[in-house]
Structure 1
């Protein structure tokens, strides 16, 4: 089975960046009264969906790359720290706490996929990672 890690990393990096933008922009957008009808964007289902997609991409991209290609823990550690910050943001102590931790965590997950992509390119396994 061939796994196209660079494609997964690019999709995962993009989805993590979208998550960070979503988490940073929603409080600002919702503060405008004319846009208050967009409150569904702050729904927990949407937020947990972003988190679930991120976890899926860790198992689809980062883990196989580590096990079969570059053997470097750095992307997994960065992603783990990112998800840790996202989890801290879920404590919902206040709005700033949630936004700061979630955005920083999502950016760290994006960086993890970028680092993974760079490691795959450096090892020459940037096209496919065979199982």
Structure 2
């Protein structure tokens, strides 16, 4: 059974937003001493998983939609800039620098999937 493109974009958009919330909230949560046991949420493997999912969703959603359907480069450009911000955040220049860049990047990636979803919807390209 094939997964519909709109479902993939909704899942990808949701995971990107969860990533943005995760990256914005974890430093605040960890700063409270009574919640320091939640330090595992700032784990590099969890962050790597979010980044891997983002790349995976681009490969199975944005790229095929661009090639086969709408030929609009906007979602890919948003995703590329989003990942550039995420990579900038990984430079670890400061915690605030990391949080700001990662949240902007994850938000841009979510917006890329939203834009892709809207383009597909406007062309009524979904498989039923």
Partner of 1:51: 51
How far does residue 12 in structure 1 lie from its aligned partner after superposition?
A: 0.2
Partner of 1:74: 74
Instruction: Specify the SS of the correspondent of 1:93.
Output: coil
Partner of 1:32: 32
Deviating 4+ runs (over 3 angstroms): none
Residue ranges of structure 2 left out of the alignment (5+ in a row):
none
Instruction: Specify the SS of the correspondent of 2:114.
Output: helix
How far does residue 49 in structure 1 lie from its aligned partner after superposition?
A: 0.4
Residue ranges of structure 1 left out of the alignment (5+ in a row):
none
How far does residue 122 in structure 1 lie from its aligned partner after superposition?
A: 1.1
The whole-number CA distance in structure 1 between the counterparts of 2:56 and 2:127 is 18
Instruction: Specify the SS of the correspondent of 1:128.
Output: coil
TM normalised by structure 2 equals 0.97
The whole-number CA distance in structure 1 between the counterparts of 2:45 and 2:4 is 29
Instruction: Specify the SS of the correspondent of 2:92.
Output: coil
Partner of 1:112: 112
How far does residue 2 in structure 1 lie from its aligned partner after superposition?
A: 4.7
How far does residue 123 in structure 1 lie from its aligned partner after superposition?
A: 1.1
The whole-number CA distance in structure 1 between the counterparts of 2:61 and 2:7 is 9
The whole-number CA distance in structure 2 between the counterparts of 1:64 and 1:56 is 12
TM normalised by structure 1 equals 0.94
Contact 1:26/1:41 (<8 A) preserved: yes
Partner of 1:98: 98
For the aligned residue pairs, the C-alpha RMSD in angstroms reads 1.3
Instruction: Specify the SS of the correspondent of 1:62.
Output: helix
